[in-house]
């Protein structure tokens, strides 16, 4: 092959790769980032004979006033009329986002709810080199005063009757089942203090124990599992956000393995096992508005009796 033909072949190959890359980027930023889906799961944790309890798990909304598609889709979720909403944080990505979060949740605020906070409720997003995300968990320099109006959002949640689980225990009776909750602040910014709520689950008082945290760091999952939680609910990972088709996530942005970046799995610690549900989240940082092979989601998690069924979607 002549040098001229070789050069032409290389140019064609480079242009071809560039066109595929541009196509993937357009797909990720124009389509998939707004291709919302409801993941439906069921898990057997309720006492024998108990009626199913439908939990809507919402996470990582990263709301801005301009995220219209996200707002529209979120506002449809109220029609599900879940028995309980669990919000695992990272609601905000803009100073003026609070009314858009509360407005989008709409009828969901009429349902019982519990929540914890994530770093992106406290601190406004910053531009970062997107390749940095693939190198491992981002380290945070966010120990300064919060810059986002999370207090205002918390006021809205509390006015709706939702319970802030940050380093708090709570008990809710739903359909005759006593659900015990413990939550932590965000482990990604080292604000988790699970020890404040730690201790063996008292099954004389609680039928099902649910741990709630933003970032599923193993130290939190281990401690909750060790204490006897039946189920742990988390977000933060964005499911990997930019994934490889037929392979999955490359990163979790924490120390959880990539095989559990989203969906239902089991967590084992000290010989005990808890179910773990990690949401891939509804939104993204405004500085990384793409998703690939990892569509935005909320989860409708149906708790069934131990004699019921378990399924993953
Ligand atoms: Fe997030």
Of the candidates 193, 196, 197, 254, the one whose C-alpha atom is nearest the C-alpha of residue 229 is: 197
Q: Token pair of 175, please?
A: 């359909």
Of the candidates 84, 87, 78, 77, the one whose C-alpha atom is nearest the C-alpha of residue 107 is: 78
CA of residue 1 to ligand 1 center, whole Å:
52
pLDDT score at 233: 99
CA of residue 42 to ligand 1 center, whole Å:
24
Strand ordering across the sheet containing 263-269: 169-174, 177-183, 208-212, 231-234, 272-278, 263-269
> Rg of the Cα trace of the chain?
21
Q: Token pair of 240, please?
A: 């990997």
- pLDDT tens digits, 51-84: 999 999 999 999 999 999 999 999 999 999 999 9
CA of residue 120 to ligand 1 center, whole Å:
7
- pLDDT tens digits, 15-41: 666 667 777 788 688 778 899 999 999
pLDDT score at 26: 81
Phi, psi of 55 (to 5 degrees): -110, 130
- pLDDT tens digits, 157-179: 999 999 999 999 999 999 999 99
CA of residue 219 to ligand 1 center, whole Å:
19
Is pLDDT of 7 > 90?
no
Judging by DSSP bridges, how do beta strands 53-58 and 297-305 pair with one another?
antiparallel
- pLDDT tens digits, 39-60: 999 999 999 999 999 999 999 9
Give the predicted TM-score (pTM) of the model. Answer: 0.92
């Amino acid at each position: 092959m002549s040098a001229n033909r070789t050069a032409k072949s290389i140019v064609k190959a480079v242009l071809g790769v560039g066109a595929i890359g541009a196509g993937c980027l357009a797909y990720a930023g124009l389509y998939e980032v707004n291709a919302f889906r409801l993941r439906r799961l069921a898990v057997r944790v309720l006492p024998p004979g108990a009626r199913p309890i439908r939990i809507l798990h919402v996470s990582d909304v990263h709301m801005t006033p301009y995220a219209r598609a996200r707002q529209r889709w979120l506002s449809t979720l109220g029609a599900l009329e879940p028995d309980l909403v669990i919000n695992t944080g990272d609601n905000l990505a803009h100073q003026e986002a609070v009314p858009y979060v509360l407005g989008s949740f709409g009828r969901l605020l009429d349902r019982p709810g519990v929540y914890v906070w994530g770093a992106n409720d406290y601190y406004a997003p910053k531009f970062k080199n997107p390749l940095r995300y693939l190198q491992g968990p981002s380290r945070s320099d966010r120990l300064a005063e919060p810059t986002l109006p999370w207090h205002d959002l918390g006021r809205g949640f509390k006015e709706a009757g939702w319970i802030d689980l940050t380093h708090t225990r709570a008990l809710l009776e739903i359909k005759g089942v006593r659900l015990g909750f413990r939550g932590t602040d965000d482990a990604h910014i080292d604000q988790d203090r699970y020890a404040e709520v730690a201790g063996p689950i008292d099954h004389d008082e609680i039928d099902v124990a649910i741990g709630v945290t933003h970032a599923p760091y193993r130290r939190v999952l281990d401690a909750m599992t060790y204490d006897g939680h039946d189920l742990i609910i988390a977000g933060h990972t964005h499911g990997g956000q930019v994934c490889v088709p037929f392979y999955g996530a490359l990163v979790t942005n924490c120390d959880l393995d990539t095989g559990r970046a989203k969906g239902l799995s089991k967590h084992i610690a000290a010989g005990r096992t808890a179910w773990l549900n990690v949401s891939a989240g509804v939104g993204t940082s405004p500085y990384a508005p793409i998703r690939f092979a990892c569509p935005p989601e909320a989860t409708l998690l149906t708790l069934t009796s131990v004699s019921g069924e378990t399924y993953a979607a």
